[in-house]
């Protein structure tokens, strides 16, 4: 098989952007195909994991421990946060080794390397979008109806989380080329991060003096925004500013770290 080597770009132009976009779509589609190849349920596994996790947590926290949250049914409260969190966690966890796992490809063919971790983020975004209709059906079954605010709120929140993830995965994947333990540390850290984010509980249940500390976590304001949109048809407001700040910082950090370390990838791999 003849491998087509694409020469390094000398400047930014429309054809280069188009080629990068096409490559991103191709890698995302390939990852989807490989992930579910040979399975019977296929993409349904994407929905099964958060739904089963939500069912277990609902039974343990609501039915056994009697946890209550505002006026929303606890299963809706839970899933409205679990779905966007699942996109976040899986993106970082699965993209950590995206450079190191593709070492032969990186050494043989030139292409925009940043599309490797970004294709994982896009892959998980596709899964997240599949979960939104399920959440809509559950809301309607509980007497809650999506409003027109969703048409604006969902793209805005997707854009914020997408940019946050783009920066985060570039940092993690780039450092993991040189520190292979990082992908395992990321998994442990994400599990701890889950409990430090208001997913199982609302931010209002956290003591007032601790809430400012909680907002250091960029996913706090982002998860709250997703939940307010899904449950109350409320568009993101000024209280989402921590997520915006951390998104800008993560994106800049991701670009700088990737550009700094990219030239050393081949030697480390």
Dist CA 99 CA 105 (whole Å): 9
Is residue 149 very low, low, confident or very high in pLDDT (cuts 50, 70, 90)?
very high
Give the DSSP H/E element, type plus range, for residue 106. helix 103-108
Residues 6+ apart with CB under 8 A from 15: none
Dist CA 205 CA 234 (whole Å): 20
Is residue 71 very low, low, confident or very high in pLDDT (cuts 50, 70, 90)?
confident
Q: How confident is the model over 16-27, as a mean pLDDT?
A: 76
Dist CA 216 CA 107 (whole Å): 39
- Model confidence at 36: pLDDT above 70: no
| Rounded percentage of the chain residues whose pLDDT exceeds 90 | 51
Dist CA 92 CA 120 (whole Å): 8
Are 92 and 155 a contacting pair, CB within 8 Å? no
- Model confidence at 12: pLDDT above 90: no
Nearest to 115 by CA among 263, 258, 13: 258
Residues 6+ apart with CB under 8 A from 128: 83, 84, 86, 87
Are 128 and 84 a contacting pair, CB within 8 Å? yes
User: How crowded is residue 197: how many other Cβ atoms within 10 Å of its Cβ?
Assistant: 22
Nearest to 16 by CA among 4, 26, 5, 8: 8
Residue predicted with more confidence, 241 or 44 = 241
Residue predicted with more confidence, 164 or 181 = 164
**pLDDT tens-digit series, residues 195-231:** 999 999 888 888 888 888 888 899 999 999 999 999 9
**N- to C-terminal Cα separation, the chain:** 24
pLDDT value of position 72: 82
Q: How confident is the model over 236-257, as a mean pLDDT?
A: 94
- Model confidence at 176: pLDDT above 80: yes
Dist CA 70 CA 55 (whole Å): 19
| Rounded percentage of the chain residues whose pLDDT exceeds 70 | 88
Are 164 and 218 a contacting pair, CB within 8 Å? yes
- Model confidence at 2: pLDDT above 50: no
- Model confidence at 51: pLDDT above 90: no
Is residue 38 very low, low, confident or very high in pLDDT (cuts 50, 70, 90)?
low
Give the DSSP H/E element, type plus range, for residue 229. helix 218-232
Residues 6+ apart with CB under 8 A from 79: 50, 51, 54, 135, 138
pLDDT value of position 42: 60
Tokens 């000398």: give the residue.
Answer: 10
């Amino acid at each position: 098989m003849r491998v087509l080597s694409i020469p390094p770009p000398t400047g930014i132009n429309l054809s280069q952007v188009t080629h990068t976009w096409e490559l991103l779509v191709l890698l995302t589609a390939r990852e989807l195909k490989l992930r579910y190849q040979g399975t019977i349920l296929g993409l349904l596994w994407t929905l099964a994991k958060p739904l089963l996790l939500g069912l277990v947590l609902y039974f343990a926290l609501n039915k056994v421990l009697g946890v209550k949250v505002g006026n929303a049914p606890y299963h809706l409260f839970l899933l409205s946060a679990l779905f966007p969190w699942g996109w976040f966690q899986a993106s970082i966890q699965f993209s950590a080794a995206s450079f190191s796992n593709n070492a032969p490809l990186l050494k043989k063919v030139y292409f925009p390397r940043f599309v490797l971790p970004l294709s994982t983020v896009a892959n998980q975004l596709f899964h997240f979008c599949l979960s939104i209709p399920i959440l809509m059906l559950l809301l309607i079954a509980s007497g809650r109806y999506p409003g027109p605010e969703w048409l604006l709120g969902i793209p805005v929140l997707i854009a914020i989380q997408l940019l946050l993830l783009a920066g985060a995965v570039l940092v993690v994947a780039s450092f993991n080329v040189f520190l292979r333990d990082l992908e395992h540390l990321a998994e442990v850290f994400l599990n701890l991060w889950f409990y430090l984010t208001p997913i199982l509980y609302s931010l209002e249940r956290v003591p007032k003096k601790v809430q400012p500390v909680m907002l250091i976590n960029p996913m706090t304001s982002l998860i709250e925004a997703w939940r307010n949109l899904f449950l109350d048809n409320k568009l993101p407001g000024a209280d989402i500013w921590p997520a915006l700040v951390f998104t800008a910082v993560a994106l800049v950090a991701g670009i700088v770290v990737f550009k700094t370390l990219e030239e050393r990838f081949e030697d480390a791999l």
